[in-house]
Chain A
Amino acid sequence: MNLRALVVAAALAAGAGCASTSDDPRDPLEGMNRAVYVFNDQVDQIVLAPAARLYKNITPDPLREMVRNFFNNLDDLFIGANNLLQGKLEEAVNDWGRFAFNTVFGLLGVWDVASDMGLEKHNEDFGQTLARWGVGNGAYLVLPLLGPSTLRDTAALPVDWAGDPVAVHRPVDESNAATAFRVVSRRADLLGASQTLEEGALDKYQFHREAFLQRRRSLIYDGSPPRERPPAD
């Protein structure tokens, strides 16, 4: 598969997307987003998903768990910082406590001893912090290679990268190698979810968008968003 074919396919899809735009106010750039989505999907099918399946097939479950824990542990520092920025002091202390225990007693994080002690893992990033500060989603965006996002979350990305120990690690080739490894590890955990997407969606693009927006909303409210009533019938 050559890159030019991908670009042509993406351009065709963009045309198709523009022709049947859905006028969804949350997704004003749907035509462009669909083109990028098709491109990402191709990259996933050709490179990423096969790598993730291979990784899953050749490694035992406990090893993959250690890899997952190692990367998750590094995230806890910045997760704590975001909780602090959102005024959730107790959560921030929890996250940094996790990092300290797992790094020291969990062999640099490969064992998640903190969870066994009752220190729960959280999920935060700077996009969620901005949301807590009152910044709305903005337009839905599909970023090349990075996938679904929003205008707000995209604006937050440089801060997320600055707070990511893997991204700021030097020399840069070690950082790149670790990033690639982390991407494959995380993709392997999502193989089940992507199967659901294939089987359940009438239109993968819309299904993925709805799932992403719902998931973000849930994360912003730490798992308990205010209940949305269905439109009155």
Chain B
Amino acid sequence: MKRILAVALLTVGCAAQAQGQMPPDELVKGVMLDIQAIIVKDKDLQAGDRGKTIRLIEDKALPHFNHVGMTALAVGANWRKASPEQKQRLAAEFRTLLVRTYASSLASFGNQKFDFRPLRMKPSDTDVTVQVRVLQPGAQPVVVEYDLEKTPNGWKCYDVRVAGISLVVNYRTEFANLVREKGIDGLISALAAKNKAVGAQKAGAAK
């Protein structure tokens, strides 16, 4: 009995470790192809069903994102001035904003082809960029880059650049200006108001 338990524990341990050590390029490829396969089979997702799309992102993509790290980068130097509670609220609102905003672009995932670029990395690297070229019929390929860092729980993504435009950097100036004018709480309420407005608008449009 003890031996079986030991074997079982060992197996679970190895499985967890294997997942944690999955190379970043294979992780990105796996997640993208997984999401694409789900969209191809689902008419609602292709038609842009918001609720379903957001649930898909939350299930499949978000576990691989470090959204606190993303928020810290977007907020910049002011991040240190935020209290732990403010940090938590900032990260939650920013996460909602990004998911809502980019959910609408996921429907077109179904008919796109991905060209996964080979990643050259040393075993000692802890911070890498994985490149994927997205090929769409009749359009110039768009390069999407994922910045990932190694953590004890596997590689986590902390920034995405689409055609050279970083999601995180794009908010940096705006956030800094808001904090200067209205403080950290002002930034939190601006994000919350934006999320509420987009949510309401979408709920109305769905009917």
Contacts and interface: CB of A to CB of B under 8 A. Distances in A.
A193 B177 CA distance: 24
Contacts of A223: 143, 164
Contacts of A24: 173
A195 B139 CA distance: 18
A105 interface: no
A210 B170 contact: yes
B170 A195 contact: no
B138 A214 contact: no
B170 A233 contact: no
Nearest to B181: A20
Nearest to B194: A202
B138 A196 contact: no
Nearest to B107: A192
B72 to A, nearest CB: 7
A65 B139 CA distance: 8
Contact of A22 (B163, B166, B177): B177
B128 to A, nearest CB: 11
Given A200-B101, A210-B173, A214-B164, A123 B140 contact: yes
Nearest to A27: B173
Interface in B164-185: 164-166, 169-174, 177-178, 181
Interface residue SS majority, chain B:
helix
Contact of A195 (B97, B104, B165, B194): B104
A199 interface: yes
A200 B140 CA distance: 23
Interface residues of A, number: 38
B198 A217 contact: no
Interface in A200-231: 200-203, 206-207, 209-211, 214-215, 217-219, 223, 225, 228, 230-231
Interface string B91-134: 00000011011101100100000000000000000000000000
B102 A214 contact: no
A189 interface: yes
A226 B191 CA distance: 31
Given A68-B138, A210-B174, A215 B72 contact: no
Given A203-B174, A206-B174, A211 B138 contact: no
Contact of A233 (B72, B140, B165, B174): B72
Nearest to B159: A230
B76 interface: yes
A196 B164 contact: no
B165 A206 contact: no
A29 to B, nearest CB: 16
B79 A233 contact: yes
A173 interface: no
B177 A206 contact: yes
Contacts of A53: none
B137 interface: yes
A218 B102 contact: no
A218 B198 contact: no
Interface of A: 20, 22, 24, 61-62, 64-65, 68-69, 72, 120-121, 123, 189, 192, 195-196, 199-203, 206-207, 209-211, 214-215, 217-219, 223, 225, 228, 230-231, 233
Going nearest first, the 6 A-B pairs with the smallest beta carbon separation are A218-B164, A65-B138, A200-B101, A210-B170, A206-B174, A214-B165
21 contacts: A61-B137, A68-B138, A120-B141, A123-B140, A199-B104, A200-B102, A202-B178, A206-B173, A209-B173, A210-B169, A210-B171, A211-B170, A214-B164, A214-B166, A215-B164, A215-B165, A218-B161, A225-B164, A228-B169, A230-B172, A231-B77
